[in-house]
Chains A and B, each alone.
Chain A
C-alpha cells in the first residue's frame, strides 16, 4: 500500500462550489504539506503543518484552507472554487532526520489530485 494517499485522484467541479481534497499517510511523519503544480511554474506551497496543532500558510494560501484532523490526515479545502485553481495538487510528508549538516527535510509526495474547475 502507498505510504501517502490522496483522494480523490481526479475531480471536476464548477465555479463557486466547495471542494475538499484529502490526504492520509502511514509513514508516521509529523510534518505534512499541500502543494499545487501548474505547467511552467513548478511546485508551489499552499499550507504546511508541523503537527496537529501547528498550521502555517505557504506562498499561495489565498482561497484555500486546511484542517489537520490527526497526525495522519491533512485536508485541503477550496471554499469557493474558481477556474484558476485548476491544477495538480500534491500532499507531502516529512520527518526531519536530525541536526547533522547532512540531514535534510526530505519530503515524500502522494500521487496527486487533478482538479478541474469549470
Chain B
C-alpha cells in the first residue's frame, strides 16, 4: 500500500462547478500538507500548504486537513478552464531545517474544466 493515495481521475467538470480533490495517507507522522498544480509540459508549482489539521483558504481554493481521518482535500470554487491541470498532493513529516523535509507525493489527479 502506498503511503499516499490519490485518485488519478481523470475528472471532467463544467465551468463554474465546485471541484473536490482528495488524498488519503497512512503515515501518522505527516504534519505538512501541500497541493501542487502541474500544467501540461510544465513542472509542478506549489499551490497551497497547511500545517497540521484545519482549513486554509486562498481565493477560490480551500485546503482541508483532517489528521484524525488521515484525509486531505482541495476544493476549487467557481472552477475555470484555466484550472485544467494535474493536481498533486504532497506531505512531509518535518519542515526541513537541518534534515531533509522529504516530500511524499500522491499520484496526481488530472482535472479538465470545460467551458
Contact = CB atoms under 8 A, between A and B. Distances in A.
Interface in A23-46: 40-45
B30 to A, nearest CB: 12
Contacts of A42: 4, 6, 88, 105-108
B85 to A, nearest CB: 13
A33 B105 CA distance: 14
Interface secondary structure of B, over-half rule:
loop
B42 interface: yes
A105 B34 CA distance: 11
Interface residues of B, number: 27
Interface in B44-64: 44-46, 49, 51
11 contacts: A4-B43, A42-B105, A42-B107, A43-B88, A43-B103, A104-B32, A104-B95, A105-B92, A109-B43, A109-B44, A111-B42
Given A48-B100, A96-B97, A110-B43, 4 more contacts: A43-B105, A44-B105, A108-B46, A111-B41
